[in-house]
Amino acid sequence: MTTESLRHCPACNQSFSEEFAPSHYGVTHRQDASCLNPDCRSLERHRLLWLYLQENILTNDKNMFFLEIGPTRSLKNAFKRYPNVRYIGMDLISKRANVRADINDIPFADNTFDIVVCYQILEHIYDPILAVRELKRVVKRDGKAFFQVPLNIDLATTSSPSSSSPREREILFGQEDHLRVFGMDFEELLREGGFFTQCIDYAGRFSSEERKLMGLKLSYLIGPKNSPYTTSEKFYLATKT
């Protein structure tokens, strides 16, 4: 990292002389979000998670089995720097997946994975509790699972799932393949799925200058154009109860 760097991505460890690219998911096009490295393209949540993993999980040479639901090129490539970590990316349709499977029917034995990441997935699932229980099954007894969803911080209760048309879902939730908006009861859902949970405000440990350099956000607007809501970059660390 040089003094001339305007942005630095911790996931791919590259620095840039300009801001990150906009994000173009759904109707929300937020600025300064996506890493400029075409082999990374990390978003804020990926960079923040990678910083946490480096400081708290990847601190020794212990062999680990890592599962990412909905594989991202940023984490997949970042783990190539860690020969002690076996990375599995699982999805039904993604070309980046090396295992094609449904989150409700994961083809691995009980207590397989040291780390599971399920980021921005459960809003696509009709029965998220079923998916959470399946993830709990495959996490080791001393393992950890990381969850994040689009979370309306002003909404107490998660909205009911919608099976309306893609256009209606875009109007309701801001993205045509989203079935709901999660409220502040999301942590209760994880507990109902069998996890002990802790909400981690990891972005808050960095100074405003550090957050700007690495393209991290404490929160940002997301969702429908006519009724945008604020989602937090906090994530949930879950362990078996």
Going from N- to C-terminal start, the domains of the chain cover 7-240
Q: What is the mean pLDDT of each run of 10 residues along the chain (241 residues)?
A: 78 97 83 97 98 96 96 96 97 93 97 97 92 98 96 88 77 81 94 96 97 96 86 95 71
In this structure, the number of other CB atoms found within 10 A of the CB of residue 140 comes to 17
Longest dimension (CA), the chain: 50
Task: Write down the pTM of the prediction.
Answer: 0.93
pLDDT recorded at residue 4 = 66
Q: Of 236, 238, 241, which is closest to residue 48 (Cα–Cα)?
A: 236
Q: Name the burial class of residue 196, with classes exposed (0-12), middle (13-18) and buried (19+) by CB atoms within 10 angstroms of its CB.
A: exposed
The contacts of residue 207 (CB under 8 Å, 6+ apart) are: none
Q: Of 16, 139, 104, which is closest to residue 8 (Cα–Cα)?
A: 16
The amino acid occupying position 5 is S
pLDDT recorded at residue 36 = 98
> What kind of fold does domain 7-240 have according to CATH?
Rossmann fold (3.40.50)
pLDDT recorded at residue 158 = 87
**DSSP character string of 21-54:** BPP-STT---SS-B-S-TTT---HHHHHHHHHHH
pLDDT recorded at residue 2 = 47
pLDDT recorded at residue 71 = 96
